[in-house]
Chain A
Amino acid sequence: AQSVTQLGSHVSVSEGALVLLRCNYSSSVPPYLFWYVQYPNQGLQLLLKYTSAATLVKGINGFEAEFKKSETSFHLTKPSAHMSDAAEYFCAALKTSYDKVIFGPGTSLSVIP
């Protein structure tokens, strides 16, 4: 069964520091991979997605993620954290467009001034 793990339920970074949120998936077939962000009292917003084109994917708000098949990873990064980045981040995987999306448990990002 496919699963998505996110290392670290809470991550704190200083404003201006590098953001690194980890995501690993288990799948025999490279899936579609997504990062969603959820701000308080809001739904999930798509940050970026991997669909087997470029392995380095750029998203909104300066975020990017790199698909590494050998490591079954899809870590999310941003060079310089901003206070507005404080939110919950979810990694998700989809094997084919006909399957259901599997979400990771989420990582709460705090940005310290």
Chain B
Amino acid sequence: EAGVAQSPRYKIIEKRQSVAFWCNPISGHATLYWYQQILGQGPKLLIQFQNNGVVDDSQLPKDRFSAERLKGVDSTLKIQPAKLEDSAVYLCASRIAGGETQYFGPGTRLLVL
């Protein structure tokens, strides 16, 4: 079974630029999560999707971050414009409906200069 796929793995941009990350969850997993992990910290949930609907985006900085999961499968997370403090690893995870275990992708490491 293929795992959660993410791309790109690494991205370096300058502040005020835009960036987008892509995630393809495990096939059949209805729930998809985006996390931000700052160096030395645990993952912080940014947004949770159930199919193509948003379940929780309470910690998403909506003035600069956006995310979509239009067809209920893959998802994109965008930052526009980026700030220095957005430098982090962005993790995508998925979970089967009714299940308790999240499966994580390898993450995208973002560096904002």
Our verdict on whether A and B bind, yes or no, reads yes
Could you say which residues of chain A place their CB within 8 Å of the CB of B6? Answer: 43
Could you say which residues of chain B place their CB within 8 Å of the CB of A49? Answer: 100-101
Given A43-B104, A43-B106, A49-B101: A105 and B41 interface contact (C-beta under 8 Å): yes
Cβ-defined partner of A43 (8 Å) among B44, B48, B100, B107: B107
Size class of the contact patch on chain B: 20 to 34
Q: Pick from A66-74, A77-85, A95-103 the stretch touching chain B.
A: A95-103
**B4 to A43, Cβ gap below 8 A?**
yes
**B104 to A44, Cβ gap below 8 A?**
yes
Q: Name the CB-closest residue of B to A50.
A: B100
Cβ-defined partner of A97 (8 Å) among B40, B41, B43, B99: B99
Q: Which residues of A contact B (CB under 8 A)?
A: 32, 34, 36, 41-46, 49, 51, 90, 94, 97, 100-101, 103-106
